[in-house]
Structure 1
Amino acid sequence: MRGVIQRQVVRAFRKLDTLLEYRQEQVEQGFNVAYRSWQRLQAEREHFRRQFILQSMQDRSH
């Protein structure tokens, strides 16, 4: 009987490990997507900032 319970516990922990690894992968993928979106947003923000500065300089020169 003890051996049966021990095998069930081992199996349950293996299943838990698998689920935790899967969840960790999902979290990492979600973080990567969010980080790439943030980087893209920062690049767009910098682009518009430079365009605004350039436009301001051109407006002053006229």
Structure 2
Amino acid sequence: MLLVFNGWFLCLSVNYFVTVGFVLFNIMSINIQFSGLNSALDHAVTIITNIRVDNFVHGL
């Protein structure tokens, strides 16, 4: 019973942190857009994402 509760609690905590992180990231993105640095950030994120995807694919 305790194990089930812990699993449920862990799942809830992860969902909570992911949601909070996503909201904070969106707020930061909006602030960056107003700063005019959005395109540079998008470019960096795209490069990092591509590198991660490439590494993941090669890892398989």
- Aligned residues: CA RMSD: 1.3
TM-score (normalised: structure 1): 0.57
Identity fraction in percent: 5
Q: What is aligned with 2:20?
A: 30
Q: Distance in 2 between matches of 1:15 and 1:26?
A: 16
Give the drift of 1:44: 0.4
TM-score (normalised: structure 2): 0.59
Q: Distance in 1 between matches of 2:28 and 2:5?
A: 35
Q: Distance in 2 between matches of 1:21 and 1:33?
A: 18
Output one character per residue of 1:5-38: Cα deviation in whole Å (capped at 9) or x when no partner.
Answer: xxxxxx1000000000000000000000000001
Q: Distance in 1 between matches of 2:22 and 2:12?
A: 15
* Structure 1 stretches of 4+ moved >6 Å: none
How many residues in Structure 1 have an aligned counterpart in Structure 2?
37
Specify which structure has the bigger relative contact order, considering alpha-carbon pairs within 8 angstroms and separated by 6 or more residues. Answer: 2
Matches within 5 A, 1:40-59: 40-46=30-36
Of structures 1 and 2, the larger Rg is shown by 1
Uncovered stretches (5+) of structure 2, i.e. residues with no partner: 38-60
